[in-house]
Amino acid sequence: MADVNTAGDQPQQGFPQFTRLPREIQHKIFTEAICKPNVHFVIARRKDVAATAKWHLALFPVPKGKDTSGYRLLEPLASVNAVASSAVHLATAKVVVQPEAEHGEDSGQVQWVVDKVPFKVLGNRIDGREDLVCFQFQRTNGKLFGYFHPHHQIINLSSFDPDAQAEQVKALHKVAISSQATDPYCRNDRSVFRCVGHPNHGDWTICPQQLCGFLDSFPNLREVYIVMRAQNEVQEKEDLKDYSRNFFTLTAAARRKHNLATFHGADRSYIELHENIAVSPYWMQLTRPRQLVAMLAELRECFLLDAARLPADEQDRAVAYRLPRARREALVFKVLVPTDGTQESWEGVDQYFATWSTRVFGQVNEGVVQLAAVNNRPLLPPVGGASAGAGADGGAPAQG
């Protein structure tokens, strides 16, 4: 303590000790900051292909200023230094063991596979196995979306091309539709998933059968989510807030143990709706949560309606899905609730980290500064008034 310089010292700026930490520790800190798994948003529009006379969905990024996808955080972080770059690589790349071609055994040869966002204009890395990709559907030039389901191609003016679709989304294992997709009524030709005139879809406002047709084009589909947005009722918003608070009283370890889904975007998290965490025992019986659970049950039923499920005299109703039955049976369907972004959870930490990393390396990192702007939040106060946890990581002497 004798060598502490008390005279004329600037108030502590940044974290000068950080770069002296062993690379392993730096790596761990960067990895914590990445907050996996992420949610990414993509815009889907109909694209007609003259050569095949078929259509599929072309995918586009949400414009940068409005995009709250997790992938928008990764490249700025990777650009901080080599250790951060390697942390981002490890968080997104997967080691795949190449099978021995002839004997079907693992050859022991490993290969790094890096998944990218599913559109051509950007090459950002994502983790296709763990991250969630949420589709937002947009009509352009009044074009209808057409029918997705294999049974209804005959009434499509031109048919949906699931092969072209699969090629774009083959890296994705977890898919969500935002509730925007469920707004127009399924008998309305503004709907993305228009109904061919089924008598009843329970609480669905889109046709679950058409949604199955869309989901069937994801060759590696494992999990399907529907995002519950609060409607205008004040009570519902309050309930969702209470739900998020309850959710985050569980530690990350407990949430992992119970396999509760949490996906992190740039401005908020999306958490799984689970009845055991509900605000009150009655809450899950309220209209909206109950509706969504029932809707997913119906979607699942729909997806299993193939030859194996139907009696011999009804085989003509069977659908030839592309996804093997075993894969469809193993699909997980969940409801997600967006938080309001104010939980004392990772959001605050991550924002703090972004500011902090700028100071550590004494450079203004473009992406990091934009991050604060995108989130429309002020930068955090200077170090000193900031979180004790990060200070300790920066090498503060242990107490006692």
Give me the residues that bind Zn ion (CB under 5 A), please: 195, 198, 207, 209
Taking the complex as a whole, the smallest distance from the CB of residue 200 to Zn ion amounts, in Å, to: 9
Taking the complex as a whole, the smallest distance from the CB of residue 212 to Zn ion amounts, in Å, to: 10
Handedness of CA 253, 351, 119, 62 (dihedral sign): positive
Taking the complex as a whole, the smallest distance from the CB of residue 201 to Zn ion amounts, in Å, to: 6
Taking the complex as a whole, the smallest distance from the CB of residue 193 to Zn ion amounts, in Å, to: 8
Taking the complex as a whole, the smallest distance from the CB of residue 207 to Zn ion amounts, in Å, to: 3
Between residues 159 and 209, which has the closer beta carbon with respect to Zn ion? 209
| Cα–Cα distance list, 87 to 13, 170, 192, 327, 369 (Å) | 25, 25, 39, 32, 20
Taking the complex as a whole, the smallest distance from the CB of residue 145 to Zn ion amounts, in Å, to: 14
Between residues 172 and 212, which has the closer beta carbon with respect to Zn ion? 212
Between residues 41 and 193, which has the closer beta carbon with respect to Zn ion? 193
Contacting residues for 347 by C-beta, under 8 A, at least 6 apart: 264, 267, 268, 269, 339, 341
> How far, in Å, CA of 60 to CA of 219, rounded?
20
Paired tokens of 183: 């707004």
Between residues 125 and 194, which has the closer beta carbon with respect to Zn ion? 194
**What amino acid occupies position 177?**
I
Paired tokens of 340: 């309001």
> How far, in Å, CA of 66 to CA of 60, rounded?
13
Between residues 207 and 360, which has the closer beta carbon with respect to Zn ion? 207
Between residues 207 and 335, which has the closer beta carbon with respect to Zn ion? 207
23-34 vs 71-78: helix crossing angle, rounded to 10: 160
> How far, in Å, CA of 258 to CA of 252, rounded?
10
Taking the complex as a whole, the smallest distance from the CB of residue 188 to Zn ion amounts, in Å, to: 12
Between residues 196 and 349, which has the closer beta carbon with respect to Zn ion? 196
Between residues 133 and 195, which has the closer beta carbon with respect to Zn ion? 195
Taking the complex as a whole, the smallest distance from the CB of residue 224 to Zn ion amounts, in Å, to: 17
- Residue among 258, 261, 270 at smallest CA distance from 222: 261
Between residues 144 and 332, which has the closer beta carbon with respect to Zn ion? 144
> How far, in Å, CA of 240 to CA of 228, rounded?
10
- Residue among 114, 170, 137, 133 at smallest CA distance from 323: 170
346-360 vs 23-34: helix crossing angle, rounded to 10: 140
**CA of residue 15 relative to chain centroid, distance:** 32
Taking the complex as a whole, the smallest distance from the CB of residue 228 to Zn ion amounts, in Å, to: 21
Handedness of CA 178, 183, 187, 188 (dihedral sign): negative
